[in-house]
């Protein structure tokens, strides 16, 4: 069963605020009329406010849990589940509105060497560095970054062409090179597949094209000093 997105969850549970009217409705059912005295109205209002506060707290907790379920614990980026949902939604939007959409799939070259030679803690630090570089390089509230698993990452760039995708990858690479000699001197590098959405293709075909492009770049050498 697909996990509900935070935006949809927020909208779908707005009806819960109708529970604020519950104390007055029960009063009408029990007494046949509305409260009479100012004290009774104050009591009903106080109970309504309390219910509203509880509903607000429950909705916030629910949204936080949904966000956690869609996030990668190590990098804070979206996870594979979030990517699957959002790439489908963005393809539908691009197809309907006839607007550009670029997908970038990235894989860290020779990442296994870091884990083997320096340990998994060092490898985790590299993945966190890369996640931070992604957040710095993309447009806030427009583009989205994801960790698909292991050392595989993805970017969704709505309203953008492939040239913008290349520029984003270059910014990510430059940030990594400045932060860590493993990027500057080796062995780490980035292989990236950058493709623009074609309205006639399915979402799975779109992702598959990016995957083929990424492995084509990796097989041609990849590397931190090569641009895809």
Helix H or strand E encompassing 154: strand 152-158
Start-end of H helices in the chain: 6-12, 22-31, 38-69, 80-97, 111-118, 120-137, 162-179, 181-184, 203-219
Question: What are residue 105's DSSP bridge partners?
Answer: 154, 193
- Evaluate whether 100 touches 180 at the Cβ level (below 8 Å): no
Q: Which of 151, 174, 180, 185 is catalytic?
A: 151
Quote the tokens at residue 202. 């399915």
State yes or no: is 151 an active-site residue: yes
Determine the angle formed by the axes of helices 120-137 and 111-118, rounding to 10 degrees: 140
Q: Rounded CA gap, 72 and 75, in Å?
A: 6
Q: Rounded CA gap, 107 and 163, in Å?
A: 19
Catalytic (active-site) positions: 151
């Amino acid at each position: 069963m697909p996990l509900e997105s935070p935006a949809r969850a927020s909208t779908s549970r707005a009806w819960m605020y109708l529970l604020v009217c519950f104390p007055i409705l029960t009063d009408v059912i029990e007494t046949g009329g509305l409260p009479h005295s100012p004290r009774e109205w104050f009591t009903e209002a106080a109970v309504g406010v309390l219910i509203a506060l509880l509903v607000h707290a429950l909705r916030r907790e629910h949204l936080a849990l949904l966000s956690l379920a869609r996030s990668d614990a190590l990098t804070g980026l979206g996870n594979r589940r979030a990517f699957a949902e959002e790439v489908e939604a963005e393809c539908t939007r691009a197809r309907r509105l006839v607007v550009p959409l670029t997908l970038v799939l990235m894989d860290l070259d020779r990442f296994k060497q870091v884990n083997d030679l320096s340990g998994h803690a060092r490898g985790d630090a590299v993945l966190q560095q890369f996640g931070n570089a992604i957040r710095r390089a993309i447009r806030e509230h427009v583009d989205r970054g994801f960790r698909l698993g292991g050392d595989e990452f993805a970017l969704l760039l709505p309203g953008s062409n492939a040239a913008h995708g290349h520029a984003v990858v270059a910014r990510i690479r430059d940030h990594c090179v400045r932060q860590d000699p493993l990027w500057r001197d080796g062995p780490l590098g980035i292989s990236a597949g950058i493709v623009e959405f074609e309205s006639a293709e399915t979402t799975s075909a779109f992702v598959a094209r990016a995957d083929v492009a990424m492995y084509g770049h990796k097989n041609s050498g990849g590397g931190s000093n090569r641009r895809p």
